[in-house]
Structure 1
Amino acid sequence: MLNFFKKNAALIWAKKHVQKAEEFKKNPEKNQENLLLSLTETAKKTLFGREHDFENIHSIQEFQKRVPVADYEDLKPYIEKVKRGQANILWTETPEYFAKTSGTTSGSKYIPISKEGMPFQIAGAQSALFHYIHKKNNADFIKGKMIFLQGNPELEEVFGIKTGRLSGIVAHHIPNYLQKNRLPSWETNVIEDWETKVEKIVEETEKQDMTLISGIPPWLIMYFERLTEKHGKKIKELFPNLQLIVTGGVNYEPYRDKMEDLLGGKVDIIQTFPASEGFFAFQDDYSKEGLLLLTNHGIFYEFIPLEEYGKPGARRLPLKDVELNKDYALILTTNSGLWAYSIGDVVRFIDKNPYRILVSGRTKHFTSAFGEHVIAFEVEEALKAALEKHPAQITEFHLAPEVNPAEGLPYHEWLIEFEKQPDDMESFRDELDDQLRKRNTYYDDLISGNILQKLHISKLKKNAFQEYAKSQGKLGGQNKIPRLANDRKIADLLEIYKF
């Protein structure tokens, strides 16, 4: 009876939520400008606001003149003041939380989350589920058990500010109506060693009626593989009522074939775009690619054409000026005190009514040792097209330049862990190279001009990427191995896993 009530209540809530959500799609451009001016008005007496003359900002153009694009290193002096307990620095109050993330150049990053910002983190995930329930007219997953992948929910304090991984912070805000059905247990979630944690999650879930599982694709694959190894069954055999997988953090498409093989049956997928800095987008139309950009969730967006990113005079486009099918570096101004902050993600608009995006890469993850500037989206689309002609299953891959080969011209090296190899590896290699040439004219010019030779494929042993991640202390959680690099740091470390 309780489950019946919860299911029907969810259907009603979902309908009301989606009806209300339609409002923000009607005039997103003006709403974005109003949001920016509201943020600068609120923060005009903060240290950052005084230093950047927020008092006299009355338009997007005035904001852009006064506030330069910043990365974490630029904002770090302000964040250090906040960490020491000082208020009115970036935002009017000290943050409610710091989301602690790993940085490559800055060490650990402390991303502020304000009292105003935290509700939007939760609302983004809830909205994704409500849109799904309404679209499918189905809330059956409410009746079963659910996994919400998270980091250690134990939080430390930095001068009185609760600090931890975002997923661990969010664990403290899961609605009460989902708490009783949530797995794994607190005791399991606080385990730091990822392999031990996965084993405990398997033990706690293998005999449960799992209906919803949430996590990034590499984690899901690791968890599903452990279950199938233990029981010799596909996931849908173990969890026949599994209805929904919620995923995000990386592009799902390269993992789709592997996931479908492990699942062994139909499971609905919702793709999302969350980060410590905010919850940006989610999939609201399951018939096509693209994530609905949340333009009313406390975040003002700017977009720098990727070819201009990092250059003097780079254009900062508001929402109304973006073009379809172009790559943009994503810049954020948030109600947690991040101002014109470069998050490092690259997005591509595929629709403007409403605004829908694809996450096409990272500003720092590309291959351009020869001026080609190949990005993740091009690589993943080329791989997808090649696999359609030469079926295979790929667990993970990494692309790096080989500038000084022992013999012959330089080339791109693809280090690939195959679950199932193509029947004709040479034909697959040729097709993959052709597909990448179609998507990147600079790469095509380098091949046709005999500056580069065709790409090389190096096959890696099973679990190579898991073992590499473990060796670097980056196994599990929200850790992601870059698929592209402009050097051979990762490629050289993967050498030991080659056949």
Structure 2
Amino acid sequence: MGSLKSILAKPFAKRIYKSVKKWADNPIKTQDKVFKDLISKATATQFGQDHDFISINSYKDFVQRVPVRDYEGLKPYVDRVVKGEENVLWKGKPIYFAKTSGTTSGAKYIPITKESMPSHIKAARNAILLYINETGNTKFVDGKMIFLQGSPILEKTNEIQFGRLSGIVAHYVPKYLQKNRMPSWKTNCIEDWETKVEAIVDETINENMAIISGIPSWVQMYFERIQQRTGNPIGQVFKNFDLFIFGGVNYEPYRAKFENLIGRKVDSIELYPASEGFFAYQDSQQEKGMLLQLNSGIFYEFIKADDFFTENPKRITITDVEVGVNYVMIISTNAGLWAYNIGDTIQFTSTKPYRIIVSGRIKHFISAFGEHVIAKEVEEAMQKAISMTNTTINEFTVAPQINPKEGLAHHEWFIEFEEEPEDLKEFAKIIEQSLQQQNSYYLDLIKGKVLRPLVITKINRNGFKDYMKSIGKLGGQNKLPRLANDRKIADKLHELLLTK
């Protein structure tokens, strides 16, 4: 007999599934309603007046009046909101700012309003409920759950609190989860990542952990510490651990390593949260991709990634998207972001319902020779090589080598192996072939002898951790870029390095 909580979870999950299905089955109508609602509510704001929202009657009008902007483009408005002005981007003032470390503009302050906050909470909850509805598994609801996240300590500017998104969300954990949730508030507030992981291990090592959640690279560090302390795989230490929830990076390159650490397979749910909105979550264990949240106060536009840097790229809505095309995602939200480029690229895996995968960052690609290789392609190639050679890796990144000491220019793959392949040349060959199959520009450059096949540089154990530490970005919401069009990371790795 299950507990009352696990018995009640199933009818609740069924109810949520029906309500999600209702809007997912009517996507165009749902997005149209969101669009009209956003425009009408922001007409009297400063941004709405500056862009003549009162005369916007169609999507075409919106495109004509509101250009696509990134944070830099929207910054003059955001700065006014940060200073405490009201009715600038959205009515009233935001209730929080999610502070993120921007690469070009220093710290970014992303507004979160009382209208936008609930969708951050609901989406994560619904992902778990849809999993329950599909699988019938409710065992984990009685166990302990851990969310590896940033510090919940918030600061204040002009009466508005700010902090990391995961720290803000920590204040909204539903009452029925509070006593199951770990780590403690005190431990969650530790800033130094390595100290924090040790404290989390201390608190959780003897608990009945059932759900573990976080960015894969952080969770890997936590698992490794547990294993070092106990000498046992995670699945033995936490016998009831059977659901891993993750977001932020592609899990596939880590999957083999994780299953090795755990000692068995566990179900996983992928989420796509960001400070700017909770965009998608995995709604099925059977289907590829995550369900795009069309009913969360976010209106979506898309620009083909290949056209993005041209003079006047075409903007489209979900009505015109195609499966398998690489798009830059543009959002307008009830937090006051308008035609905002978050920098991510996505691909649709399905349009009935609309499901997506994150394919990379529009700024993270290699095109030193016109090849335009993207994160999805390198991750897919790596995944293929891992699965065909019984290899496990901890981390990897790719950079162009334009001026090699000898031979032709090439792509350099920096890989930290957990278990090395028996034949490194064969491993490299599988990656190379997969990349050539996926990217015709790259294939042409190899054939035309502009590039030679990739070169693998092996990174010492914990080399990437040392690199992230050296630039002050270990843990937190920091992720290693999967690839870069320059050699900033590559040169630093060579400096710290390495074994060939």
User: TM (normalized to structure 2)?
Assistant: 0.98
Give the match for residue 126 of structure 2: 127
Distance in 1, Cα, partners of 2:345 & 2:222: 29
Q: CA deviation at 1:302?
A: 0.5
**Residue in structure 1 matched with residue 225 of structure 2 by the alignment:** 226
Distance 2:152 2:430 in 1: 46
Give the Cα separation in 2 of the matches to 1:321 and 1:418: 42
**1:152: which partner in 2?**
151
**Mapping of residues 25-36 of structure 1, within 5 Å:** 25-36=24-35
Q: Where in structure 2 are the equivalents of 1:257-336 lying within 5 Å?
A: 257-336=256-335
Displacement of 1:78? 0.5
Is the contact between residue 153 and residue 167 of structure 1 (CA under 8 Å) also seen in structure 2? yes
CA contact (8 A) 1:331 1:342 kept: yes
Task: Name the counterpart of 1:93.
Answer: 92
Q: How many angstroms does 1:137 deviate by?
A: 1.2
- Other structure's SS at 2:8 match: helix
Equivalent in the alignment of 1:208: 207
Runs of 4+ that moved beyond 4 A? none
- Whether contact under 8 Å (1:349, 1:358) holds in the other structure is yes
Question: Which residue is 2:428 aligned to?
Answer: 429
Q: Distance in 2 between matches of 1:193 and 1:81?
A: 32
CA distance in 2, matches of 1:386, 1:189: 37
Q: CA deviation at 1:287?
A: 1.9
Secondary structure in 1 matching 2:452: coil
Please list the CA deviations of residues 330-369 of structure 1 after superposition, one character each: whole Å capped at 9, or x if unmatched: 1000000000000011100011100111111111111111
CA distance in structure 1 between the aligned counterparts of 2:284 and 2:8, rounded to whole angstroms: 22
Equivalent residue, structure 1, for 2:413: 414
2:497 counterpart residue number:
497
1:199 aligns with 2:222: no
- The one-letter amino acid of 2:148's match is L
Q: What SS is found at the alignment partner of 1:147?
A: strand
Partner of 1:403: 402
SS of alignment partner, residue 484 of structure 2:
coil
1:112 aligns with 2:123: no
CA RMSD of aligned residues (A): 1.0
Q: Aligned letter for 1:329?
A: V
- What is the one-letter code of the residue matched to 1:127? N
User: Aligned equivalents of 1:287 and 1:378: distance in 2?
Assistant: 23
CA contact (8 A) 1:293 1:355 kept: yes
Inter-partner Cα distance in structure 2 for 1:481 and 1:266: 26
Contact 1:393/1:421 (8 A) holds in 2? yes
Cα deviations by residue, 1:394-427 (Å, 9 ceiling, x for unpaired): 1110100000111111000000000011111111
SS in 2 for 1:494: helix
Cα drift, residue 30 of structure 1: 2.3
**Shift, 1:430, TM fit:** 1.7
1-side partners of 2:372 and 2:422: how far apart? 31
1:469 CA drift (Å): 0.7
Letter in 2 for 1:371: G
Check whether the contact 1:447–1:454 (CA below 8 A) recurs between aligned residues: yes
Could you tell me which runs of 5 or more consecutive residues in structure 1 were left unpaired when the two chains were aligned: none
Could you list the per-position Cα deviations for residues 213-269 of structure 1 after superposition, in whole angstroms to 9, with x for gaps in the alignment? 110100110000010011110001000001211100111111111111111013110
- The answer on whether the counterparts of 2:148 and 2:219 sit within 8 Å (CA) in structure 1 is no
What is the distance in 2 between the residues matched to 1:89 and 1:208?
48
The amino acid that maps onto 1:285 is: S
SS in 1 for 2:3: helix
Separation (CA, whole Å) in 2 of partners of 1:387 and 1:195: 28
Q: Which residue of 1 aligns with 2:362?
A: 363
Q: How far 1:34 moved relative to its partner?
A: 2.1
Is 1:165 aligned with 2:168? no
- Output the CA distance in 2 between the equivalents of 1:95 and 1:202: 36
Which structure 2 segments of 5+ residues have no match?
A: none
Percent identity of the aligned residues? Answer: 53
Secondary structure (helix, strand or coil) at the match of 1:356 reads: strand
Q: What is the alpha-carbon distance in structure 1 between the residues aligned to residue 204 and residue 212 of structure 2?
A: 11
For 1:438-467, what per-residue CA distance to the aligned partner results, in whole angstroms no more than 9, with x for missing partners? 111100000000001111000000011111
Pairs aligned (count): 498
CA distance in 2 between counterparts of 1:31 and 1:210 reads 38
Q: Distance in 2 between matches of 1:354 and 1:455?
A: 38
Are the aligned partners of 1:433 and 1:455 in contact in 2 as well (CA < 8 Å)? yes
Q: Counterpart amino acid of 1:340?
A: A
Supply the distance in 1 between the matched residues of 2:259 and 2:286 (Cα, whole angstroms).
Answer: 17
Q: Which amino acid aligns with 2:224?
A: E
| AA of the residue aligned to 1:306 | A
Q: How many angstroms does 1:391 deviate by?
A: 2.5
Deviation at 1:387, TM superposition (A): 2.4
Which letter does structure 2 place at the counterpart of 1:175? P
Deviations 1:465-493 (A, max 9, x none): 11111111111121101010000000111
Following TM superposition, by how much is the alpha carbon of 1:388 offset from its aligned partner in structure 2, in angstroms? 2.9
SS at match of 1:422: coil
Distance 1:34 1:66 in 2: 19
Are the aligned partners of 1:37 and 1:57 in contact in 2 as well (CA < 8 Å)?
no
Deviates more, 1:394-403 or 1:132-141: 132-141
**For 1:301-320, what per-residue CA distance to the aligned partner results, in whole angstroms no more than 9, with x for missing partners?**
00100001132210111001
Following superposition, the deviation at residue 384 of structure 1 comes to 1.5
CA contact (8 A) 1:48 1:89 kept: yes
| Equivalent pair of 1:33/1:59 in contact (CA under 8 Å) | no
Q: Does 198-207 or 31-40 show the bigger shift?
A: 31-40
User: Distance between the aligned counterparts of 2:287 and 2:382, measured in 1?
Assistant: 19
| Amino acid in the other structure paired with 1:103 | G
